Amino acid sequence: MKTPSHDLIVFGATSFVGQILTRYLAENFGTHGRLKWAIAGRSEAKLAGLRNSLGLAAGKLPLVVADAADEPALRRMCKSTRAVISTVGPYALYGGPLVKVCAETGTDYCDLTGEVHWIRRMIHEHEAAARKSGARIVHCCGFDSMPSDLGVLFLQQQARERFGQPCVEVKMRVKAMRGGFSGGTYASMVNFVKEASANPALRKESANPYSLCPPGYAPKVRQPNVKSAEYDPDFDAWVAPFIMSAVNTRIVQRSNALSKQAYGADFRYDEAMLMGRGLQGRAAATGLTLGLGGFMLATALPPTRWALERFVLPAPGEGPSAEAQRNGFYDLRFFGKTADGDVLRAKVTGDRDPGYGSTAKMLGQAGVLLALDLADAGPKGGFWTPATAFGERLIPRLVAHAGLTFEVI
Ligand SMILES: NC(=O)c1ccc[n+]([C@@H]2O[C@H](COP(=O)([O-])OP(=O)(O)OC[C@H]3O[C@@H](n4cnc5c(N)ncnc54)[C@H](OP(=O)(O)O)[C@@H]3O)[C@@H](O)[C@H]2O)c1
């Protein structure tokens, strides 16, 4: 049993989201409280600058220097801590060595990747080592996929209490959302588009709703998937595709698979955006579908991608302003139906902009839970989802300390 000097290390603390997270941890956990933590990255000068910007003197918050490709340095870092949060992305480019080292050294790990193909690769390559060492690896602890994964968990608990059975059909609909996105997020998307355009097998795998489920897990249920404007009678509104659904649906299906099909063997789940009623709703849903398609096409084609990167989108390290983060929010609606036809509706909301202000708080709470409260409890070693790793323990903390709400409506 190791006796590390830190409970938690934030690796990538100087990234756009890492800086918000570091400030959140400093404000909520202090530097001399119950949580012993440190910040890490590849540049000591940048880390020291971040510490200064928080008004902390040297010695108040330890700095750990490690490059994402330097395995010996990552190994030293992991040996000095119980848990690591990583915000170093694109994860498919830089994240693999740290997951490998965490899995080998029994160090708990969480991140905010939304790169499904990379998560799949990590599970394939490192799950055996994580099971052996006891490391709990939890991807997708940001806006993708915490609110979806925990929202479904919450709805299913409520359904079991009320109806004695889970909902076999669940829909998540984004009612309202305001936020921006950072250069790091766009860089991750671009990297996926580049990998997928050179790899037909990856494109095929990405279309599989069970792509993150354990090998051999293949329910004979056709999963719904909103790909264009359509009318949704359960919400009496037109809906359009939701860009994050390709990540969230895979995580929610993995949660069902890892929990021995707690949501049912025939569980169906999809996500979309609510666009309103009548002709106006239909026009808005069609417009959004076309806009999304155009954006994906522009990202896939090198000349338009160059123009987007050069003139339109934020560069790595940049993202929504402090004011935009403060004024952001989201409101997600869940609809569930049991096999007997009972219906339940729930709502999950978050303050701050989803991908940054809210994401940093969710990720921080997940990391602290892993490092302190789950240190000698919780799931055993392996690759877990937010719902299966943290489950009921995390929801009240997100409500009390991260600006989220979960309620039946
Ligand atoms: N799931 C969600 O809801 C969600 C939300 C937001 C972001 N994200 C993801 O989170 C990641 C971070 O986003 P961001 O906008 O904060 O990114 P960013 O500002 O571009 O930061 C990237 C970070 O990676 C570090 N880095 C790059 N190469 C490295 C290396 N070789 N060794 C050590 N560190 C290295 C950079 O270090 P320097 O500071 O030294 O340059 C920087 O701290 C992205 O993958 C993004 O897709 C997900």
Please state the φ and ψ torsions of residue 231, each to the nearest 5 degrees: -90, 135
3-state SS, residue 224: coil
Read off the tokens for 123. Answer: 């599970």
**In angstroms, what is the span from residue 184 Cα to ligand 1's centroid?**
5
- Specify the pLDDT at position 264: 95
**366 touches 310 (CB < 8 A):** no
Q: Which of 182, 189, 193, 356 to mutate to test the pocket of ligand 1 (most atoms within 8 A of CB)?
A: 182
Q: Could you give the CA distance from residue 53 to residue 13 in angstroms, rounded to a whole number?
A: 13
**144 touches 188 (CB < 8 A):** no
175-191 in b/e form (b: 16+ CB < 10 A) is eebebbbbbbbbbbbbb
Per residue of the chain (409 residues), give pLDDT as tens: 557 899 999 999 999 999 999 999 999 999 988 999 999 999 999 999 999 999 988 888 999 999 999 999 999 999 999 999 999 999 999 999 999 999 999 999 999 999 999 999 999 999 999 999 999 999 999 999 999 999 999 999 999 999 999 999 999 999 999 988 777 777 888 888 888 888 888 888 889 999 999 998 989 899 999 999 999 999 999 999 999 999 999 999 999 999 999 999 999 999 999 999 999 999 999 999 999 888 888 888 888 888 887 777 778 788 888 888 889 999 999 999 999 999 999 999 999 999 999 999 999 999 999 999 887 787 899 999 999 999 889 999 999 999 999 999 9
**In angstroms, what is the span from residue 89 Cα to ligand 1's centroid?**
4
Q: Could you give the CA distance from residue 42 to residue 150 in angstroms, rounded to a whole number?
A: 33
Q: Could you give the CA distance from residue 54 to residue 277 in angstroms, rounded to a whole number?
A: 47
| Nearest atom (ligand 1) to Cα of 42 | 33
Strands of 268-276's sheet in order across: 230-232, 237-241, 268-276, 167-178, 329-338, 343-351, 404-408
3-state SS, residue 204: helix
**In angstroms, what is the span from residue 239 Cα to ligand 1's centroid?**
32
**In angstroms, what is the span from residue 39 Cα to ligand 1's centroid?**
14
Q: Could you give the CA distance from residue 407 to residue 125 in angstroms, rounded to a whole number?
A: 38
**In angstroms, what is the span from residue 128 Cα to ligand 1's centroid?**
27
**Residue 83, by phi and psi: left (phi above 0), alpha (psi -120 to 50) or beta?**
beta
Read off the tokens for 395. Answer: 């929801």
**In angstroms, what is the span from residue 16 Cα to ligand 1's centroid?**
7
**Look-up of token digits 């929010």:** 329
224: Cβ below 6 Å to ligand 1?
no
By DSSP bridging, strand 167-178 and strand 329-338 are antiparallel
| Nearest atom (ligand 1) to Cα of 12 | 43
88: Cβ below 6 Å to ligand 1?
yes
**Dihedral, CA of residue 298, residue 304, residue 305 and residue 307, to nearest 10:** -130
Q: Could you give the CA distance from residue 12 to residue 31 in angstroms, rounded to a whole number?
A: 18
